[in-house]
Amino acid sequence: MPGSSDNRDHRIEIDEWRKKIDAIDQKLAALLCERLHCAKNISSLKSALGEQVLQPEREKEVLNNVMNHADTPLISQALEKIYRCILEESRLLQKEWKSCHKETSSR
């Protein structure tokens, strides 16, 4: 049957790429956990300084730093969207942590 060998080769190649993505995802998850812990520490310091969680200039700086790593406009757009989500979740975590910290310190 023509093409069946090609299909099998493509399936093997897909599996290899998926294994690579799985390994990258494990590294990304660990790095994102580390990043969120850093955000939590920053939240504590911001509270001590009386600063707001949202700091638009810093977020612009983060986005620019990340997007400078993109090698195509399409990847740049995708990175921007991904990092906007990461920044939003970091802000939410900081707000939640700040709220929890206030509750425990007022007891």
CATH number of the domain residue 77 falls in: 1.20.59.10
pTM: 0.80
In angstroms, rounded to a whole number, what is the distance separating the alpha carbons of residues 41 and 90?
A: 11
pLDDT of residue 3: 61
Domain count, the chain: 1
Query: How many of the other CB atoms lie within 10 Å of CB of 60?
Result: 10
Q: Which of 14, 105, 91, 19 is nearest to 59 (CA)?
A: 91
For residue 77, give both structure tokens.
């757009």
Domain around 74: 4-105
* pLDDT tens-place string over residues 16-41: 999 999 999 999 999 999 999 998 89
